[in-house]
Amino acid sequence: MSSPRGPIYFDELSIGKVSAIREDGKYCLLFAIKSLNVKGGGAERVLVQVANELARRGHALNVMTFDGDGDSFYELSASVRRFNLNVGPPGQPTPRIALVRAMSRMRHVLQSVRPDLVIGFMHSIYVPLGCAGIGTGVKIVAGDHAGALHFKSRWAERLLLSLSDRLFVARTVPVPELKSEFENTLGLESTVLPNPVDLIAFRSSKKSTAQSGTNRIILSVGRLMEEKDHAVLIDAFHEVHQEFPGWTLRIVGEGELRRQLEAQIVRLHLERRVQLAGNSVAVANEYRRADIVAVPSRHEAFGLVTAEAMASGRPVIGFDDCKGTRSLINHAVNGWLVSGEDNRSRSFANGLRSLMTQESLRVSLGSAAPSAVAHMGIGPIADNWESFISEVVHRLGKEEATH
């Protein structure tokens, strides 16, 4: 397939002038997400990996974002055509008036590209996308990367989700646990499409967990937001830091809670022991340096960081009430789970203490971890995507033929 030129901005669009070039037997697909320019993000990384691989296989891949100028944080293949709607800055909430403008522009893209199928990554894009697609005949899939429980305390978002559910032809979720969650809540049938892990990159980041020396690192990777719960991790580290003077807590990620976490670090006098390192494209290098990977999340639809760390041969610790973490870790076999009930910081501190004091346990868990995620490479995951897309397109074609 020939490579498109650079990003197409909304002002350049003309209906019928961006028809796709694709190989025989392949599909024209449009992936949509609020931003690819935002620094970091699990769903963003998954979109780029899947889009790049499907484009490599000959499908005509298009990606639509709210972004304006700037480059994708994760490298998007030159064979993927990108539409930037220039709605608002990456990583920021979209004002209502801007959202109305965004839906008009999304509709314009849908009518211009006429894809066989559209997949919206996360509710922040697929809900307005579903509204924009009314009357266009374009088929839209709701791609969820947060569980239904994410909306439990967000009544407005939950209402929008319920009202918009009929606008989609299918729903995708990354783990089986979320399939029943969404089907019980909304009713639309869900298909499990696991997130891919770059096994080649993370396998190469393996190191011995039995290194000598006192420069030990507890690593946490994730956006600085409430659901990731880095505050509990910092409190837990504070409980054990005096017992283990050779250890450092390193948090890789950026987000709206940075100032709060900085203040917490200062309040606990941990400035020399806790690092807020910001975002990093070279996440594999971070795992290579780590002795333990800590995942303090309250909720993860899919434990992408857990899977990456396990592929890297790192011992991972997380809460047993986080489905995305629990679905990957077999406690005391390939990772370590701690109770999420009662005092979460104390529970996590006790778990850290177990790993920090027992080098043989860290070695054992790290050695067993890679085999648990060996099936998550981009090859078999892209196979699943192709099967899903083909099934949905053919099913819809048959339904239209009978009407």
Residue 349: its H or E element: helix 344-357
Looking at the fold, whether 307 and 368 belong to one and the same domain comes out as: yes
What would the two tokens of residue 15 be? 């209906």
pLDDT of residue 120: 96
Looking at the fold, whether 64 and 140 belong to one and the same domain comes out as: yes
Rounded CA separation 128/145 (Å): 16
Looking at the fold, whether 187 and 205 belong to one and the same domain comes out as: no
pLDDT of residue 399: 76
Closest CA to 18 of 112, 114, 136, 133: 112
pLDDT of residue 104: 92
Residue 2: inside a domain, yes or no?
no
Residue 1: inside a domain, yes or no?
no
Residue 59: inside a domain, yes or no?
yes
Count of the separate structural domains present in the chain: 2
Looking at the fold, whether 16 and 67 belong to one and the same domain comes out as: yes
Question: Is the pLDDT at 23 greater than 90, yes or no?
Answer: no
Count Cα neighbours of 295 within 13 Å in the Cβ-side half-sphere.
30
pLDDT of residue 15: 43
Question: Is the pLDDT at 103 greater than 70, yes or no?
Answer: yes
Better pLDDT: 179 or 320: 320
pLDDT of residue 185: 60
pLDDT of residue 205: 62
Better pLDDT: 317 or 149: 317
CA 204, chain centre distance (Å)? 22
pLDDT of residue 22: 57
Task: Read off the CATH number of the domain in which 31 is found.
Answer: 3.40.50.2000
Looking at the fold, whether 255 and 210 belong to one and the same domain comes out as: yes
Residue 303: inside a domain, yes or no?
yes
The model's confidence at residue 392, banded by pLDDT at 50, 70 and 90, is very high
Q: What is the mean pLDDT of the chain?
A: 87
Looking at the fold, whether 307 and 342 belong to one and the same domain comes out as: yes
Least confidently predicted of 36-45, 308-317, 357-366: 36-45
Question: Is the pLDDT at 396 greater than 80, yes or no?
Answer: yes
Looking at the fold, whether 121 and 230 belong to one and the same domain comes out as: no
Looking at the fold, whether 122 and 50 belong to one and the same domain comes out as: yes
Residue with tokens 């991972």: 316
Q: Which residues of 291-319 are buried (b: 16+ CB within 10 A; e: fewer)?
A: bbbbbbbebbbbbbbbbbbbbbbbbbbbb
Looking at the fold, whether 123 and 261 belong to one and the same domain comes out as: no
pTM beyond 0.75, yes or no: yes
Looking at the fold, whether 175 and 280 belong to one and the same domain comes out as: no
Phi, psi of 29 (to 5 degrees): -125, 145
The model's confidence at residue 158, banded by pLDDT at 50, 70 and 90, is low
Residue pair 20/62 in contact by the 8 Å Cβ criterion: yes
Q: Per-residue pLDDT averaged across 308-335, rounded?
A: 95
pLDDT digits (tens, 9 = 90+) for 172-224: 988 887 777 766 665 678 899 989 998 888 886 655 444 545 789 999 999 99
CB neighbour list of residue 380: distance below 8 Å, 6 or more residues apart: none
Residue 268: inside a domain, yes or no?
yes
Better pLDDT: 90 or 229: 229
Closest CA to 217 of 387, 120, 362: 362
pLDDT of residue 145: 74
Cα 337 to Cα 85, 223, 283, 354, 393: the distances in Å are 43, 21, 23, 11, 41
Looking at the fold, whether 121 and 217 belong to one and the same domain comes out as: no
Least confidently predicted of 12-26, 353-367, 369-383: 12-26
pLDDT digits (tens, 9 = 90+) for 258-306: 999 999 999 999 999 999 999 888 889 999 999 999 999 998 878 889 9
Q: Per-residue pLDDT averaged across 70-96, rounded?
A: 87
Residue 3: inside a domain, yes or no?
no
Looking at the fold, whether 176 and 50 belong to one and the same domain comes out as: yes
Residue 46: inside a domain, yes or no?
yes
Q: Which domain holds residue 130?
A: 8-195+377-401
Residue 237: inside a domain, yes or no?
yes
Question: Is the pLDDT at 2 greater than 50, yes or no?
Answer: no
Residue pair 288/205 in contact by the 8 Å Cβ criterion: yes
Q: Which of 19-28, 80-89, 222-231 has the highest mean pLDDT?
A: 222-231
